[in-house]
Amino acid sequence: MSTVAPAAGTERRPSRRPARGGRVLRRIGVHLLRLVVITFGILSLLFFLMRLSGDPAAVLAGPGSGPAEIERLRHELGLDRPLGVQYRDFLGDMLTFDLGNSLINGRPALGLVLDRLPATGLLTAATLVTVLLVGVPVGLLAATWHRRLPGRVISVLTALAQATPNFLLGVGLIWLFSLYLGWLPTYGSGTAAQLVLPTVTLAAFTAAKVARVLRGDLLESFGADWVRTAQAKGVPTLRLLVRHALRYAALPTLALLTVEVSYLVSGAVVVETLFAYDGIGKQLVDAVYNRDYPVVQATVLVVAIAVVAVGALGEWLTGLLDPRLSGRQ
């Protein structure tokens, strides 16, 4: 049986494009490397800054303690060793996630942070849901009524929400809903009522930002051919946007929320402290005040991992919504 040789220049060449599995593994490796580098840099910087801020042994010993007592505590905590030796041991402990015990109660620092993590996770999840439920509809209405009075009022209110510091908004909400109306508790965590005011305070800025970005994107889309065609056929603008705008706005909204996660984490520190909400933000403030180095380092480690993980998840979801972007990564 004879075989026909392929014509010259028609041989099939192996594709240089990596297989899908290879691209996925490469992206996972990039994210892991990014996580390691970012976490190492943040914790290293924090290690030296915390030790330049004061002596935790003096805090633990109390204001009435003498130099001998303070020196004894420094020796027990290993703070009398050279800074380079402390840093070397710190890096070794970080590789095994052994960040030491709290200087205040002696419990493992990482365990203390993980105990508070579910409360902060619940607050963050409630905030993101609120941002989507408020920011997307408000952005749609602002784009629909952009030449009418309601649209201008929405633009003013969203700009005001972005310009108001979250601690100032939180104080105002406490006065209105807790002290004046008596509808909601002032502080604490553990119940749905105690979650409302911290969630609204933390979500206000991001919801307003999502609404403004979505409004701008939709107004830009008004010049597209498919929009003009639909409007020429008599399709109402609001119906047109509701039916088609969510898919159009998914990518910029998702990208914005991914970036805003870092703001939510930093804002949670202020909000949890203001409302005495028992999350890692309030615990971080207490640890900084008490110069509890291990708890501060453990908190930063957990937050860094969470922020980088959310960024990776956002990129993955973006690739699902737009395969063209996935192919470029």
pLDDT at 323: 55
Domain spanning 116-328 has what CATH number?
1.10.3720.10
Q: Say yes or no to pLDDT of 248 above 60.
A: yes
Judge contact between 120 and 268, C-beta under 8 A: yes
Q: How high is the pLDDT of residue 176?
A: 92
> What pLDDT is recorded for position 329?
47
Backbone angles phi, psi at 45, to 5 degrees: -60, -40
HEC readout, 108-148 = EHHHHHHHHHHHHHHHHHHHHHHHHHHHHHHHHHHHHCCCC
The pLDDT tens digits of the residues spanning 158-192 come to 989 888 888 899 999 999 999 988 899 988 888 88
How does residue 198 score in pLDDT terms, banded at 50, 70 and 90? very high
Binned at pLDDT 50, 70 and 90, residue 115 comes out as very high
What residue spans define the domains of the chain? 23-95, 116-328
Q: Which residue has the higher pLDDT, 66 or 246?
A: 66
Predicted model pTM: 0.76
Better-predicted residue by pLDDT, 316 or 157: 157
Cα–Cα distance for residue pair 217/231, rounded to 1 Å: 18
CB burial of residue 66 (10 Å; 0-12, 13-18, 19+): exposed
Confidence of residue 249 (pLDDT cuts 50, 70, 90): low
Q: Examine the pLDDT at 250 and tell me if it is beyond 90.
A: no
For 23-41, what is the mean pLDDT?
Answer: 74
| Residue 292 pLDDT | 82
Residue 300 in contact with residue 40, Cβ under 8 Å?
Answer: no
Q: Which of 115, 117, 124 is nearest to 268 (CA)?
A: 124
Percent of the chain topping pLDDT 90: 12
Of 270, 140, 143, nearest to 205 by C-alpha is: 270
pLDDT band at residue 200 under the 50/70/90 scheme: very high
